[in-house]
Amino acid sequence: MHILQSAAVLGLVCLDAAFAIPAAEPATASEPKLSKRTITVPRVAAGWKQRDILHSKWAAMQKFGMPIPHNLKSAHARTRNTKKKHKKHHGKAAGAGAGDAGAAGGSGVTTVYVTVTADPASATAVAPSVAPSVAPSVAPSVASSAPASASSAAAVSGGTAQTGDVVNDPTQGDTEFLSQITVGGQDMVMDFDTGSSDLWLFSTHLAAADQKGHQVFDPTKSATFKAAGADQQSFSIQFGDGSSASGNSTDTIGTDVVNIGGAISQQQTIELADTVSGTFVSDTASNGLVGLAFSSINTVQPQQAKTFFDTIADDLEQPILGANLKHNAAGSYTFGKVDTTAFTGQLTEVPIDNSQGFWQFPSSTFTVDGGQAQTNSQNSPAIADTGTTLLLADEDVINGYYSQVQGAKLDQQSSLVVFPCASTLPDLSLAVGDSYQAVIPGSQLNFQTVDRAGTTCAGALQSNNGAGIQIYGDIFFKAQYVVFNIRKNTISVAPHS
């Protein structure tokens, strides 16, 4: 959500001698301002120390008078604060920084390819010698990633193992992907975010003006809502762009029945906002967030709450979430099962490091247009985040890619890398773990036009400002089907079908 004010902050000027992105001429007064949809970046959970956001894309948007949808959250602040967060977050010791991405799922853990037939028991692991085939004749799932106890756990809880399947619809030019859930019998259209961990809702606790145009949850109309006790009294999630949501009134925290496409949590902790910032109010398409990162970064106080995914994981057929996002078309999120129609070839299982609360993995190499593999010397870990629109990557990736794009340059007004819309963009492959390269088609890396004439376009790949973490957002998900396993701490990826 941030259009960085200065080229220096964006980290795209003279990054190396081989390729320094030239500055574009300043936009003339007759040219339109950049669209509010230009870039989305992930959110910063409360508990991260907030730092200066004057050099943020969000601040520049304000300067240019652009409205900002809430989904354009702040990767800038998230990335700027990652190093500090690695040192200390929720009581975790130092040593889990960008250089130690493999602590729980990086170096020393072998990536395996899992091929599964209709019978999960027949799954076989294949040695990770080469990247998996993308032959469309293979339609495996990742059923073997579920613990053998998953079904029995559901049986103990008194029910059949669950699955859930909910449509996600892109809005605002693929800026956000929204899905309908039911809370206490009330329908709510929500933004699913694998980069945060709070399930918070627009509610009747909000001022009447802030409720206008939104679906709002009314706890008095739910026969199953129960207010939390003294150990859960409030929540406050502060995003790096200055936007926020919080609740500190009576019945702010409670439990209710939450149904997402048939996956049901009977006593799910929900957070009822009584205060939200203007960016959330102005985005009437969305009515809150479903956080799907790890519960360790949930902001409920004094005792943290579990995410929906964490709560229902042991009652699912498999403790997994599949993210199937599509360009300008409806996709789906699936709980408890793999959508074998959503991808080609084999799913590659990659261990992740959840010590910082995210779906984080190593991503140290890349290739451009199928060429020779290049090393990313910054070697920042990456996170898979559905709450981010674009790809935010290290300097080496930015330079290596845009050096192959004719006419690529830095726009001084927006501080985005832009290029002639007529340019042919090469494919980009990004390492996911040690043995898989996720291919992002060049056609998906031309995000949108930025001038009235329709001749200048902004890229979907932008800099992470050298902040020590790479953020693989919806551009990544639109090219790759991703399965999150919350009990094995893995993601599994394969090209979209």
Q: Is 231 assigned a catalytic role?
A: no
> What percentage of the chain exceeds 70 in pLDDT?
67
Provide the pLDDT for residue 410.
Answer: 85
Of 121-135, 359-373, 392-406, 452-466, give the lowest mean pLDDT range: 121-135
Provide the pLDDT for residue 327.
Answer: 94
**Predicted confidence (pLDDT) per residue in 134-164, tens digit:** 222 223 333 333 333 333 334 333 457 999 9
pLDDT, mean of residues 19-47: 36
pLDDT, mean of residues 273-291: 96
pLDDT confidence tier of residue 99, bands split at 50, 70 and 90: very low
Looking at the domain covering 150-335, what would its CATH class be?
A: mainly beta
Provide the pLDDT for residue 436.
Answer: 97
Of 74-88, 121-135, 460-474, give the lowest mean pLDDT range: 121-135
pLDDT, mean of residues 61-66: 33
Of 152-166, 379-393, 413-427, give the lowest mean pLDDT range: 152-166
Highest mean pLDDT among 103-107, 217-221, 240-244: 217-221
Provide the pLDDT for residue 217.
Answer: 98
**Predicted confidence (pLDDT) per residue in 295-342, tens digit:** 999 999 999 999 999 999 999 999 999 999 999 999 999 999 999 999
pLDDT, mean of residues 389-417: 93
Give the end-to-end CA distance of the chain in Å, rounded to a whole number. Answer: 29
Provide the pLDDT for residue 239.
Answer: 66
Could you name the CATH architecture of 7-104+344-495?
Beta Barrel (2.40)
List, by residue range, all CATH 2.40.70.10 domains of the chain: 7-104+344-495, 150-335
Q: Is 274 assigned a catalytic role?
A: no
Q: Which of 191, 314, 385, 451 is catalytic?
A: 385
Q: Which of 193, 283, 310, 451 is catalytic?
A: 193
